Amino acid sequence: METIVQKIRGDALPFSEQEEETLRLAGDIIRRGGLVAFPTETVYGLGGDALNPASSRKIYAAKGRPSDNPLIVHIADREALAQIVRNIPDSAVRLAEAFWPGPLTMILEKADIVPYETTGGLDTVAVRMPSHPAAREFIRRAGGYVAAPSANLSGKPSPTVAKYVVQDMDGRIEMILDGGNVEIGLESTIIDLISYPPMVLRPGYVTVQMLRDVLGDVQEDCTIMRDDSGQAPKAPGMKYRHYAPRGELTIVDGAQEDVVKYINSRLDRFRQQHKKTGVIATGASVQKYRADSCKSVGDRNNEDTVARELYRVLREFDDENVEIIYAESFDTDGIGQAIMNRLLKAAGHRVVYI
Ligand code: AMP
Ligand code: MG
């Protein structure tokens, strides 16, 4: 299959004539049962018609993803929710008012028109309304209900730039909308509104504290920051190996000077073994390491920058065939919880405390 790649801007509306044409074509492809990757404010999504079982099956095939791992249904308007969900609770209305459009996914009871292929066999459905203007316009033109997981091959870090969507999906899907760099860089927060009190299944840019400010009592799934290999996480997708670079990644936690000293001593050892090494550091520390490839993920005091850069950096290590990677650790407050959740999964929970 030949994959069409077309540019689309993320911000300034109105769209140009060329962009209108691109969005129309993308929408038609989805309506005909095809797949289109598109930018959102979180990461790139791999979209298909959420109400068409055959489209969902194609998504699993294109990603190489196990079919018990449910997809998130993306909508463009709040009114669309009532079509695909039964018994909308008051909590969902309040969260939608506070955080939609935006990086929050809600788990709700599914209506009959949502096929089990889309929900991985569950009676619940995950729904999100993204804020990215081109994503919303694309969803509208696609019929209003776009099932989309992240647009990466299963197990790889989610794409935050179109280049990595092309790398994983070229030849597997009909079209890729290239919207440049995404804004947030980590997948949406997932909250289960069926359990009481509501439970955060995956941390993201909308933090637990922000959710508590709206809903009061909110729990967190116990597998968010812990090794979940012995547990059954509530979001089926969280049990799979995720976000991982090919190289062996270890997180080192401790006082900055000690971390630098420890990592450099390990790097020297691996260099003697002719292994290619990498380090995930910050702007303030990146000069201090002796790895083959030292990368900054931004500013420790501005975690938005870290969220935005993390997946790109993990992907670049794959491009460079780095075999051994050490990462500094990050605070777990606010969006730091989402950053460390992904980093811990990428590292298979290998952490050295010094
Ligand atoms: P991704 O699309 O790659 O961001 O993955 C979607 C995530 O949402 C996966 O971790 C799924 O397990 C989770 N998810 C989707 N639908 C449901 C649902 N009905 N119940 C619980 N988790 C869900
Ligand atoms: Mg994913």
CATH superfamily of 4-220: DHBP synthase (3.90.870.10)
Give me the pLDDT at residue 155, please.
Answer: 86
Give pLDDT tens digits along the chain (354 positions): 999 999 998 776 789 999 999 999 999 999 999 999 999 999 999 999 999 999 999 999 999 988 778 999 999 999 999 999 999 999 999 999 999 999 999 999 999 999 999 999 999 999 999 999 999 999 999 999 999 999 999 989 999 999 999 999 999 999 999 999 999 999 999 999 999 999 999 999 999 999 999 999 999 998 888 876 566 667 666 555 678 899 999 999 999 999 999 999 999 999 999 999 999 999 999 999 999 999 999 999 999 999 999 999 999 999 999 999 999 999 888 999 999 999 999 999 999 999
State how far the Cα of 54 lies from the Cα of 31, in Å rounded to an integer.
12
DSSP H/E element including 119: helix 116-119
Residue identifier of the C-alpha nearest atom 1 of ligand 1: 149
240 Cα–ligand 1 center, Å? 11
Which of 201, 234, 341 has most ligand 1 atoms within 8 Å of its beta carbon, as the pocket-test mutant?
Answer: 201
71 Cα–ligand 1 center, Å? 6
118 Cα–ligand 1 center, Å? 10
Among all bound ligands, the one having the nearest atom to the CA of 232 is: 1
State how far the Cα of 38 lies from the Cα of 162, in Å rounded to an integer.
9
Q: Which residues of the chain does CATH 3.40.50.11030 include?
A: 248-353
Within 10 A of 318 (CB to CB), how many other CB atoms are there?
16
Q: Which residues of the chain does CATH 3.90.870.10 include?
A: 4-220
Give me the pLDDT at residue 239, please.
Answer: 58
Architecture of domain 248-353: 3-Layer(aba) Sandwich (3.40)
Rg from Cα positions in the chain: 20
70 Cα–ligand 1 center, Å? 5
